[in-house]
Chains A and B, each alone.
Chain A
Amino acid sequence: MQYSKVILEHLENPRNVGEMIDADSFAEVVNNACGDKIKLFIKFGDKQIISATMKAYGCVPTISAASFLTEWLKGKTIKEAVNLEVDELISLLEGLPRGKRHAADLAIEALQRTLLSYKP
């Protein structure tokens, strides 16, 4: 399986790992077909996202997409975060191998759910 440098680097050095106990919003999503799982935690400031943490189980891009997302979210507005689409995430990850799109789908689903459950 040929993974991009970005994906491999996040696998070797996953960012912002863990559960955020004072998160403003949190979601857990599971891909029922393969069992991959992402937990995403976000803390919001007045206008921007202050921080995000994650836990991820599954194949390489699932872990890396979740890790990448936590870094990308920092400093983004809610609007910017809501507008992140699967294809954009895939290109930020420098592409996904054939058959691995589901990893980006799951990461975006985690993001959308976390944003939806945010009650300012």
Chain B
Amino acid sequence: MIETYLPSRVYLDNSASTKLAPEVLAAMLPYFTEQFGNASSIHSFGQQAKGAMDEARRQVATLIGADFNEIVFVSGGTEADNLAVRGIAENYRSKGNHIITSEFEHPAVRNTCASLEKQGFRVTYLPIYENGLVRVEDVKSAITEDTILISIMHANNEVGTIQPIREIGGLVKEIRLERKHLFFHTDAVQSVGKTPVDVKLLGVDALSLSGHKFHGPKGIGALYLRKGVRINPQVTGGRHEKERRAGTENVPAIVGLGCAAELAKENLLEFQNIALLRDYLEREITRLIPEIKFNGDKESRLPNIANISFSYIEGEALLIALDLKGLAVSTGSACSSGSTEPSPVLVAMGLSKEMVRGSIRFSFSRYTTQAEVDYVLSVLPEVVTRLRRVSPLYKQAMAIEQHKY
């Protein structure tokens, strides 16, 4: 059914965070009030909490095709990445000190690798190509006798490109027939809940996910750690999470994550419709606005992200102008203190400075409606035209708009 109302506020920044599903909130609430026990306690309050946590662990494991004991609850995607990368590197240091990652990882992986470099690890940063993808052959040729860890993100957070994780996973398995200590981690924070993710099919040894990216709460995530892979815990203390992550478990958030995981699994097919909506947005923008560029591979990408560069204008100005119309998006351009820090992802993809600055990411969720997309299409052309009219880079407009006083 086509909705006819015009929404007053439209949120298309779901790669940054999503709204909590009402079912998730309802599931969490009792664990703040009546069922507040510590999951480590052996009385009924504690056991209720433990039971709820077990259920959530099962729900998360089911979403990604993992076993119950392979899920470690952590505070979010960043901690999951830290625990995987640092935890594996430190634990297997005696077997080698080489790590392979890519130029376009999330800072949670990139900066963790940079910090490991300072501790003496050697890190290879693989390039990504214009289409926003790494090449399996680059991974293959980077592997040495000394390599213990490969960390490549599943889907990129800015352009949504889905990396050839399955192929890399296959390669790692092949090499592991001869060299036991080579592990493969993927940051799947953007892909879980939006596209099918199965750890066994992907062939990964570790995988990070985060609750608030698929309508769960903030401050909770999980690391999948394949049975038999050992890590150095990064938070030490009690024997929680099978000694992989100490600290009293955040039971309400864990329950929320579990519920969000179950809903995500139930609604995964919805994303086919989301892809249609996204494609509709792209098609209409192409029709309505000249001189734009779509960033990232068109085939291998998430169904919910469109990343578009608008020539002659700057992302922050476009973002704020759209925000004034009630539309929330994000940009790859962050200008502060007089120096622009362009998106390393778009730079790595070989975009010109100006196209990086003019990039906008629209990211959908399963709650996004046709009416909302139509609203975007009703405001975007006017805002782009206004900013281009002001821009000294827009020669075409300059010619027609010369003033005489």
Of the candidates A11, A43, A59, A99, the one whose C-beta lies within 8 Å of that of B324 is A11
CA–CA, A50 and B321, complex, Å: 30
Tell me if B391 is interfacial: C-beta within 8 Å of chain A: yes
Q: Which residues from 39 to 64 on chain A have a C-beta closer than 8 Å to any C-beta of chain B?
A: 39, 41, 43, 50-51, 53-60, 63
Of the candidates B357, B386, B403, the one whose C-beta lies within 8 Å of that of A35 is B357
Judge whether A11 and B320 touch: CB under 8 Å. Answer: yes
Judge whether A19 and B398 touch: CB under 8 Å. Answer: yes
Tell me if B336 is interfacial: C-beta within 8 Å of chain A: yes
Tell me if B339 is interfacial: C-beta within 8 Å of chain A: yes
CB proximity of A94 to chain B, nearest CB, Å:
15
Give A21's nearest chain B residue, CB to CB.
Answer: B402
Judge whether A60 and B317 touch: CB under 8 Å. Answer: yes
Return the CB mask of A11-48 against B: 1 if under 8 Å, else 0. 11010111111100000100101111111010100000
Q: A8-B324, A33-B338, A35-B353 are in contact. Are A55 and B403 (CB under 8 A)?
A: no
CA–CA, A54 and B353, complex, Å: 23
Q: A12-B324, A59-B314, A99-B337 are in contact. Are A18 and B401 (CB under 8 A)?
A: yes
Q: A37-B392, A63-B390 are in contact. Are A20 and B402 (CB under 8 A)?
A: yes
Q: A14-B390, A22-B404 are in contact. Are A63 and B317 (CB under 8 A)?
A: yes
Of the candidates B317, B320, B338, B403, the one whose C-beta lies within 8 Å of that of A18 is B403
Central interface residue in A31, A39, A50, A59, by most chain B CB within 10 Å? A59
Tell me if B393 is interfacial: C-beta within 8 Å of chain A: yes
CA–CA, A115 and B393, complex, Å: 23
CA–CA, A113 and B279, complex, Å: 47
Give B339's nearest chain A residue, CB to CB.
Answer: A33
CA–CA, A35 and B338, complex, Å: 9
Judge whether A60 and B316 touch: CB under 8 Å. Answer: yes
Judge whether B403 and A53 touch: CB under 8 Å. Answer: yes
CA–CA, A67 and B403, complex, Å: 15
* Interface residues of B, dominant DSSP: mixed
Tell me if B269 is interfacial: C-beta within 8 Å of chain A: no
Judge whether B405 and A100 touch: CB under 8 Å. Answer: no
Of the candidates B335, B391, B403, the one whose C-beta lies within 8 Å of that of A21 is B403
CB proximity of A114 to chain B, nearest CB, Å:
14
| Residues of chain A within 8 A of B386, CB atoms compared | 14
Tell me if A76 is interfacial: C-beta within 8 Å of chain B: no
CB proximity of A104 to chain B, nearest CB, Å:
11
Of the candidates B312, B320, B340, B402, the one whose C-beta lies within 8 Å of that of A1 is B320
Of the candidates A22, A56, A67, the one whose C-beta lies within 8 Å of that of B392 is A56
Judge whether A51 and B393 touch: CB under 8 Å. Answer: no
CA–CA, A102 and B316, complex, Å: 15
Central interface residue in A18, A33, A36, by most chain B CB within 10 Å? A18
Tell me if B24 is interfacial: C-beta within 8 Å of chain A: no
Name B residues whose Cβ lies closer than 8 Å to a Cβ of A: 312-314, 316-317, 320-321, 324, 335-340, 353-354, 357, 386-387, 389-393, 398, 401-405
Known: A11-B321, A19-B403, A60-B320. 4 other contacts (CB 8 A): A1-B320, A17-B390, A57-B314, A60-B321
Please name 19 pairs of A and B residues whose Cβ atoms are closer than 8 Å in the assembled complex, sorted by A. A14-B386, A17-B389, A17-B390, A18-B398, A18-B401, A19-B401, A20-B404, A33-B339, A33-B340, A35-B353, A35-B354, A35-B357, A36-B314, A37-B392, A38-B392, A55-B390, A56-B390, A57-B313, A60-B316
